[in-house]
A = this chain, B = another copy of it.
Amino acid sequence: MLKPGATIGILGGGQLARMLACAGARLGLRSHVFSPLADDPAFEVCAARTVADYTDEAALAAFAAAVDVVTYEFENVPAATAAFLDAHAPVRPNPRALALTQDRLVEKEFVRGLGIETAPFVDVADAAGLERAVAALGLPAILKTRRFGYDGKGQMTLREPADLAAADALLGAPCILEGFVPFAKEVSVVAARGADGEFRAYDLCENVHENHILALTVAPARVSLSTADEAVAITRRIAEAADYVGVIAVEMFVVAEAEGERLIVNEIAPRVHNSGHWTLDGAATSQFEQHMRAAAGLPLGSTRRHGARVEMRNLIGDQADRWREILAEEGACLHLYGKKETRPGRKMGHVTRVIPS
């Protein structure tokens, strides 16, 4: 258990690191941010900073020596970086959790190995493999690179045989083909597991994506109580199997069937997650503080929701230009990430609304 005044090292300097650093400061924890990009938003709110590449071992060694524990804001920390740091300081979540979630094939096999349903999938190494995969799964299906995908990057939907010709762009890297899931809703569980094994989940989040990017989250999700309970139980099984410490998010599809709702795990994020941003204003403990508590080995906080319902809308690209209007809206909580440049598809901020009753 770290003490107040301890330093948490954070790999990555984006908005998630920024919100983690501020949440840590509430608890008297110092943040040391490590990122290759000097302009990153998290550098504006941290006690110490390292601007260096993730492969710079001298910088990594100095960073590890300066911090009490290492965590990260994104799952694409190079495995060698995580292994190097792990030899010098505790890394939470552990590098195995990173490895499990960096590769879609490994992740899906891990989830299935726990007896949890995923979309049907086939490993795809090349064009011939893709043809075999399509024969097995049918169309439509989604071709994804096994690594480094996010916000719709590194994936394409194949609707008809002619679409396979365009797949070459992705097939330079190992891929998987995923069968199309005709879902009624997308939901996510944002939860935390403490260093002592304590597990706490927030209310189930209901998510709406636009152009493959999260647009809206509503908590609690409008699903049956038993579906919500099962979603949390699935997440707990995953976190325990990975000996996970920190906030974890598990995205799932809800499929509506005659006999009720069925859950299919889509993706695991070994970190705080966009669909948990509503907790900043809408829960007793934000997901960011919860993650810092877990990483520091402290007890987890209450996940109690404020109000009857909480909504979070992302501000993507020039949607953030509406900041004046949002600031003037009664009860709207505006969050801007301090990014220097607005780009289409870039997450610039979000707005939460707590609906009292």
- Which of A's residues lie within 8 Å of B, judged by CB? 1, 4-5, 18, 21-22, 25-28, 30-31, 43-47, 281, 284-285, 293, 298-299, 301-302, 304, 306-307, 320, 323-324, 327-328, 330-331, 333-338, 340, 349, 354, 356
Q: What's the Cα separation between A301 and B5 when bound, in Å?
A: 32
With both chains docked as a complex, state the minimum distance between the C-beta of A225 and any C-beta of chain B, in angstroms. Answer: 20
B residues in contact with A44, CB < 8 Å: 25, 30-31, 46-47
With both chains docked as a complex, state the minimum distance between the C-beta of A347 and any C-beta of chain B, in angstroms. Answer: 13
With both chains docked as a complex, state the minimum distance between the C-beta of A211 and any C-beta of chain B, in angstroms. Answer: 23
Q: Which of B31, B45, B334 contacts A27 (CB 8 A)?
A: B334
Judge whether A284 and B28 touch: CB under 8 Å. Answer: no
Q: What's the Cα separation between A26 and B5 when bound, in Å?
A: 23
Q: Which of B299, B333, B334 contacts A328 (CB 8 A)?
A: B299
Judge whether B47 and A331 touch: CB under 8 Å. Answer: no
Judge whether B27 and A336 touch: CB under 8 Å. Answer: yes
Q: What's the Cα separation between A144 and B26 when bound, in Å?
A: 34
Given A25-B18, A45-B22, A47-B44, A336 and B4 contact (CB-CB distance below 8 Å): yes
Smallest Cβ-Cβ distance to A31: which chain B residue = B44
B residues in contact with A330, CB < 8 Å: 302
Of the A-B pairs whose beta carbons lie under 8 Å apart in the complex, a sample of 20, sorted by A's number, is A1-B324, A5-B340, A21-B45, A22-B25, A25-B44, A26-B336, A27-B327, A27-B334, A28-B323, A28-B336, A28-B337, A28-B338, A30-B44, A43-B47, A44-B47, A45-B46, A281-B284, A284-B331, A285-B333, A298-B324
Q: Which of B28, B284, B327 contacts A301 (CB 8 A)?
A: B327
Judge whether A349 and B28 touch: CB under 8 Å. Answer: yes
With both chains docked as a complex, state the minimum distance between the C-beta of A200 and any C-beta of chain B, in angstroms. Answer: 11
Judge whether B301 and A4 touch: CB under 8 Å. Answer: no
With both chains docked as a complex, state the minimum distance between the C-beta of A57 and any C-beta of chain B, in angstroms. Answer: 27
Which of A284, A320, A354 gathers the greatest number of chain B CB atoms within 10 Å?
Answer: A284
Pick the 7 closest A-B CB pairs, nearest first: A28-B336, A44-B47, A299-B328, A22-B22, A302-B331, A4-B336, A299-B327
Judge whether A333 and B45 touch: CB under 8 Å. Answer: no
Smallest Cβ-Cβ distance to A25: which chain B residue = B45
B residues in contact with A324, CB < 8 Å: 1, 298-299
Q: What's the Cα separation between A301 and B284 when bound, in Å?
A: 20
Q: What's the Cα separation between A17 and B323 when bound, in Å?
A: 24
Q: Which of B25, B285, B301, B356 contacts A338 (CB 8 A)?
A: B25
